[in-house]
Structures are given as structure tokens and as C-alpha cells.
């Protein structure tokens, strides 16, 4: 473990470059700003950050269709979840 300038110890502290995609779109009711980050493992998971709602989740394409997943993971209403699904299908495929 190394200490930083402020004397705090981190288990790991490194800069990495990862593929990410920022997507902004207007749904039927609201504007959405998402950041989709590719994970190193090739299991299809991505980190989806809702920049407006300050929420994030690990998800893959199949999760979009799971009942209640988006509502719970991103704290969306049912209407918002239905609004965002077509865009997530495209982004995650």
C-alpha cells in the first residue's frame, strides 16, 4: 500500500482508459443523459450511469426486459422505464 500526498492509503490507485459512450436523448416525457461504460470482462455487462438522476447500475441487454429492473436499479417510474427501454436496447446491443 502506498500513501498519497494527504497520507491516505489506497489498496489501488491507477488511471485506466476504458471505452465509454455518452448518450443524450429526448424520450416521450423527459430528457435522458446516460454514460455507458464497457467493463473489462467480456460477459456483456456494462455500467449505465444516469447522469440526471445520479444513479448507476451494472446491466446487460437481457436486463432491459426484466420486470421492474430499471425501476429499481435507476429509481425510475414505470412510465420513465418504458420511455427509456428502446434507447437502452439500441445502446446495449
In a domain, 4, yes or no: no
> What mean pLDDT do residues 11-28 have?
90
In a domain, 3, yes or no: no
DSSP for residue 36: E
- As a whole-number percent, the residues of the chain with pLDDT over 90 amount to 67
Residue span of the structural domain in which 63 resides: 18-92
Question: Which among 72, 42, 43 has a CA at the least distance from the CA of 56?
Answer: 72
Cα–Cα distances in Å, from 71 out to 2, 58, 65, 76, 82? Answer: 40, 14, 11, 4, 9
More confident residue, 52 or 15: 52
In a domain, 8, yes or no: no
Could you give the number of structural domains in the chain? 1
- Tell me: the pLDDT tens digits for 28-60? 989 999 999 988 766 778 999 999 999 999 999
> What mean pLDDT do residues 11-31 have?
90
Amino acid at each position: 500500500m502506498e500513501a498519497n500526498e494527504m497520507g491516505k492509503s489506497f489498496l489501488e490507485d491507477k488511471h485506466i482508459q476504458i471505452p465509454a459512450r455518452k448518450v443524450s436523448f429526448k424520450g416521450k416525457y423527459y430528457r435522458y443523459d446516460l454514460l455507458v461504460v464497457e467493463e473489462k470482462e467480456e460477459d456483456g455487462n456494462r455500467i449505465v450511469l444516469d447522469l440526471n438522476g445520479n444513479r448507476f447500475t451494472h446491466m446487460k441487454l437481457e436486463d432491459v426486459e426484466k420486470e421492474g429492473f430499471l425501476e429499481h436499479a435507476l429509481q425510475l417510474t414505470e412510465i420513465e422505464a418504458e420511455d427509456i427501454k428502446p434507447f437502452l436496447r439500441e445502446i446495449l446491443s
